[in-house]
Chain A
Amino acid sequence: DSGVTQTPKHLITATGQRVTLRCSPRSGDLSVYWYQQSLDQGLQFLIQYYNGEERAKGNILERFSAQQFPDLHSELNLSSLELGDSALYFCASSVVGATDTQYFGPGTRLTVL
């Protein structure tokens, strides 16, 4: 158990809908990262938050947004969903930055029908 929790574990929805994925980091970790893993792909970095502020942005679509709350949990919002958004979404946390080990949650499997 990495100490990072993600909910829900599975999510099935329809095209055009909006969903929210939630992540609670390990106790004491200030940074939260979101990654997307599509079929047979590596993990693609989406976005990083540090202590409530956006720190780095990767290949995140404009339809996607995230935020980190004062209690340090984070939410990833995916809207106007398309079939191609079906993927595993992982959240990771670390103490501060990328040279600190990132600990991953179990992921949320999103299926868009």
Chain B
Amino acid sequence: DQQVKQNSPSLSVQEGRISILNCDYTNSMFDYFLWYKKYPAEGPTFLISISSIKDKNEDGRFTVFLNKSAKHLSLHIVPSQPGDSAVYFCAASAQTGANNLFFGTGTRLTVIP
């Protein structure tokens, strides 16, 4: 049972434009959400996180939005750069209970120069 879903396996965006990556979750106990970026032959790298007490967190070109009522979060990258081309994984955890992350299946972002 996939508790974190990324329904778009791939996304292509022109350099300089906005990239929007989406993620849905089903478990209402999740209260901490993260985005990881993964290049080929490397492990995932932490990008940005958000706690359920917030609805937005910004770090430079990266902003994560959380809509708890819809159980949906999104990652906005603006402006997109060719170096952003990678697979992006959404992950979630519950601060109570098991301390593990539930990952989505990833979205491959290609930024076209």
Residues of A bordering B, CB below 8 Å: 2, 4, 6, 31, 33, 35, 40-45, 48, 55-58, 90, 92, 97-99, 101-107
Docked pose: A57 CA to B4 CA in angstroms: 18
Q: Contact: B46 with A99, CB < 8 Å?
A: no
CB-CB under 8 A from A57, the residues of chain B are 98
Is B53 part of the contact surface with A, judged by Cβ < 8 Å? no
Q: Contact: B44 with A42, CB < 8 Å?
A: no
| Interface positions of B from 73 to 110, Cβ below 8 Å from A | 89, 91, 93, 95, 98-106
Q: Which of B4, B43, B99 makes the CB contact (< 8 A) with A42? A: B4
Is B8 part of the contact surface with A, judged by Cβ < 8 Å? no
Q: Which of A2, A40, A99 makes the CB contact (< 8 A) with B43? A: A2
Tell me the total A-B contact number using a CB cutoff of 8 A: 68
Q: Which of B4, B6, B101, B106 makes the CB contact (< 8 A) with A98? A: B101
Residues of B bordering A, CB below 8 Å: 2, 4, 6, 32, 34, 36, 41-46, 49, 89, 91, 93, 95, 98-106
Docked pose: A41 CA to B89 CA in angstroms: 11
Residue among A33, A41, A101, A102 with the highest chain B CB neighbour number at 10 A: A102
Chain B proximity of A48: nearest CB distance (Å):
6
Q: Which of A33, A45, A97, A102 makes the CB contact (< 8 A) with B102? A: A45
Known: A42-B4, A98-B32, A101-B49. A106 touches B41 (CB 8 A): yes
Q: Contact: A45 with B101, CB < 8 Å?
A: yes
CB-CB under 8 A from A45, the residues of chain B are 100-103
